[in-house]
Amino acid sequence: MPSYKAPVRDTRFVLEEVLDIGQYAALPGFGELTPELMNSILEEGARFTEEVLQPLNQTGDRSGCTRDANHAVTTPPGFKRAYHQFIEAGWGGLSGDPAYGGQGLPHVISTAFEEYLISANMAFSMYPGLTLGAIAAITAVGSDEQKALYLPPMVAGRWTGTMNLTEAHCGTDLGLLRTRAEPAPDGSYRLTGTKIFISAGEHDLSENIIHLVLARIPGSPESVKGISLFIVPKFLVNPDGSLGPRNAVTCGALEEKMGIHGNATCVMNYEGATGFLVGERDKGLRAMFIMMNAARLGVGLQGLAISEVATQNAANYARDRLQGRALGGVKNLQGPADPIIVHPDVRRMLMTARAFNEGARALALWGALQVDLAHLAPAPEARQDAEDLIGLLTPVIKAYFTDQGYFNATNAQQCFGGHGYVRDWGMEQFVRDARIAMVYEGTNGVQALDLVGRKLAAHGGRALRLFLREVTTAVENARKTPATAEAAETLGCALADLQGATGWLMRSALTRPEQAGAASTPYLYLLALVALGHVWLRMLVVAERKLAEGGESAFHANKRITAHYFFRHALPETAVHRARVEVGADPVMALAAEDF
Ligand SMILES: Cc1cc2nc3c(=O)[nH]c(=O)nc-3n(C[C@H](O)[C@H](O)[C@H](O)COP(=O)(O)OP(=O)(O)OC[C@H]3O[C@@H](n4cnc5c(N)ncnc54)[C@H](O)[C@@H]3O)c2cc1C
């Protein structure tokens, strides 16, 4: 049976020692987040996820969700009870708007908790996760009446939310979508069409489900410019907030899929269902992107969270499993063999994952802090900077974290040898669960295109310039101290790779757009590694300072070891990615389609 221990000490290191979130105490929400409250949220969150949700992870995977003849969907045994415990404890509303019953705490603390939630049970985490995305969209573009009617029960978790974009013939290219929304005399709309792959589309956890649906109003352009966003409640809602009649939306089937079996992935049939326009007509995609940006960071967190739990189990196994003898001399004199953790190749897998997990945690929490600062920083320039940085890094976090999360999950499985391939150890579930995060919320290939096609060029490259400036300053400062000089030097080289690749991209893509398409994924990896290098340098600086002050030596000394692994082993990969960018599109595009 796999186990899970929430990495509370490491989260606290990032929040308190690296990001120093105490410095933001004057901002709304941060003032309430005293060190005592923060610790109790992390400790309680750890307890809840380890004791209530993790034990349901394997059983939920095995039993999955079921659908009956009346289209009702039942979640795995234990999910309903756990969900009620979840909402009673207020976990879903940690950073919800107090105007709608939320606790108003910073996004950065709810992100820390969400990592634990996903590690413990990714399938379960998606029910409240989708709701947060729906809340973000209604908050951003809903009318005051819509907010007052829908948000309080959603923030409380009594109602959940979904996002309905995908149709059988259109996933990435939403301009093709066919679901129709006919205006009704009372100002509402009647929606007709079929959506597929809808996460949490139907289930038994909440009293109502608020579907956010993209559809086209007759007469609107047949492209992404003609898509509008609608609220379609499972049960129509009376003006006083009580539930009215059942709407004409049903779950037509459950998808039989590779992983996250405890989460219902539904075909949703809209048969003249009553819907309400959210935001402006034909501007639905823009509204949905608000939801998707928040959701993309959440999906990036899935990559980290699965990598973390898989690594923990692999490390535990590697300490126990006896095979062969250490190359440098016998370590386990009393036993018939040494534990496999002595073997450098096993360590390579564990250290690669560990360096990613700790770096990704710091980058995810830094990113969540930018989301907070983009709304709350007192100076408009500071809000703009935070928004630019998180806008630039959202596709990077989504794609790199999930690619790497899957890679680390398979490496963790590899540490188990053949035992990783069988069900009981739970490792193959981590691999299956991690796989989908590379696909939904926009495939990772599409994230890379978003980065090179949109984010780099936005506002004349303002976001990238700011990012490069921040990394350059960090490198220059760290160069001055012997303990951090080597790491700063390596990050300086990686930065030069990024600058070189960016210059090449800017020059080449202008004349031939295929160059940008071919370069997009290696460029995203390159930027991801520099971003991780930046947070690792910050962590190393703190660890060295604490060690010099005689702080908590074991924790900070291990941080130093892992930092050096990252700088010496992982970061030099930027040179390969730069070479892949600068080789251009020809090697990728040369073979004729019929010759594949
Ligand atoms: C378990 C699960 C849960 C999901 N949950 C939801 C949900 O809650 N709501 C929802 O609306 N959808 C959901 N989806 C759908 C998911 O978002 C889509 O599957 C995804 O966006 C890709 O669309 P597609 O499957 O049609 O692939 P396609 O768009 O057909 O893409 C196929 C391949 O081509 C590539 N490709 C396509 N276009 C381009 C391009 N222009 N340039 C480069 N490469 C390109 C893609 O990267 C991909 O590798 C879910 C899917 C699954 C499997």
Pocket test for ligand 1, best of 224, 440, 452, 589 (most atoms within 8 A of CB): 440
Residue 553 has pLDDT above 90, yes or no: no
Catalytic residues: 441
Question: Cα(496)–Cα(582) distance, rounded to whole angstroms?
Answer: 14
Compute the distance from residue 324 Cα to the ligand 1 centre, in Å: 45
Has residue 564 got a pLDDT over 80? yes
Residue 85 near residue 98 (C-beta atoms within 8 A):
no
518 token code pair: 């071919």
Does 173 score more than 80 pLDDT?
yes
CA dihedral defined by 303, 308, 310, 313, rounded to 10 degrees?
-170
Q: Span 405-413, mean pLDDT? A: 98
Please report, for the chain, how many H helices and E strands are present, in that order.
Answer: 18, 11
SS3 category, 443: coil
For residue 399, report the distance from its CA to the centre of ligand 1, in Å. Answer: 13
Averaged pLDDT for residues 391-405: 97
The whole-number pLDDT of residue 593 equals 95
Task: Indicate if ligand 1 lies below 6 Å from the C-beta of 198.
Answer: yes
Q: Tell me, using a 6 A CB cutoff, whether residue 488 lines ligand 1.
A: no
Nearest protein Cα to ligand 1, atom 30? 171
Residue 413 clears pLDDT 80, i.e. is over it: yes
199 in ligand 1 pocket by Cβ < 6 Å?
yes
**Mean of the pLDDT values across residues 288-306?**
89
Ligand 1 centroid to Cα of residue 108, in Å, is 28
Residue 249 has pLDDT above 90, yes or no: yes
Among protein residues, the one with the nearest Cα to ligand 1's atom 51 is: 197
Percent pLDDT > 90 in the chain is 96
Q: How confident is the model at residue 547 (pLDDT cuts 50, 70, 90)?
A: very high
Is residue 551 predicted with pLDDT exceeding 80?
A: no
Residue 465, pLDDT score: 97
Quick one: pLDDT band at residue 459, thresholds 50, 70, 90?
Answer: very high
β-pairing, 265-278 with 228-233?
antiparallel
- Nearest-CA residue for ligand 1 atom 31 is 172
CA-closest candidate to residue 577, choices 517, 535, 537, 529: 529
DSSP assignment of 30-88 equals: TTT--HHHHHHHHHHHHHHIIIIITHHHHHHHHH--EE-TTS-EEPPTTHHHHHHHHHH
Whether 127 contacts 200, CB under 8 Å: yes
Q: What is the mean pLDDT of residues 155-160?
A: 97
Structure tokens at 95: 């950073």
Q: What is the pTM of this model?
A: 0.97
d(CA 450, ligand 1 centre) in Å: 14
pLDDT, position 41: 98
Q: How confident is the model at residue 293 (pLDDT cuts 50, 70, 90)?
A: confident
- CA-nearest residue for atom 42, ligand 1, is 446
Locate the ligand 1 atom nearest the alpha carbon of residue 166 and give its number: 11
Asked if 134 and 291 count as a contact pair (C-beta separation under 8 A), the reply is: yes
If you average pLDDT over residues 15-37, what whole number do you get? 96
Give the model's confidence band at 550: pLDDT under 50 very low, under 70 low, under 90 confident, else very high: confident
CA of 5 from ligand 1 middle (Å) equals 33
pLDDT at 290: 75
Q: Whose CA is nearest to atom 48 of ligand 1?
A: 443
Inform me whether the pLDDT recorded for 206 exceeds 90: yes
Closest residue by Cα to residue 18 from 541, 514, 419: 541
What does the alpha-carbon distance between residue 197 and residue 167 come to, in Å, rounded to a whole number?
Answer: 8
Instruction: Quote the ligand 1 centre to 274 CA distance (angstroms).
Output: 27
3-state secondary structure string across 243-299: EEEECCEEEEEECCCCCCCCCCEEEEEEEEEEEEEECCCCEHHHHHHHHHHHHHHHH
Q: What's the pLDDT at 403?
A: 98
Residue among 125, 130, 172 to mutate when testing ligand 1 (max atoms within 8 A of CB): 172
Nearest-CA residue for ligand 1 atom 12 is 166
Query: Is residue 463 scored above 90 in pLDDT?
Result: yes
Any idea which of 113-117, 123-127, 156-160, 508-512 has the lowest mean pLDDT?
508-512
Helical ranges in 480-512 per DSSP H: 482-511
Single out the residue of 95, 114, 115, 113 nearest to residue 105, CA to CA: 95
Question: Maximum CA pair distance of the chain?
Answer: 83
H helix or E strand, kind and range, residue 346? helix 344-376
> Cβ contacts of residue 254 below 8 Å, gap of 6+?
65, 66, 67, 73, 264, 265, 266, 267
Question: At residue 552, does pLDDT exceed 90?
Answer: no
Tell me the pLDDT of the chain averaged across its residues: 96
Position 192 scores a pLDDT of 98
448 lines ligand 1 (CB under 6 A): no
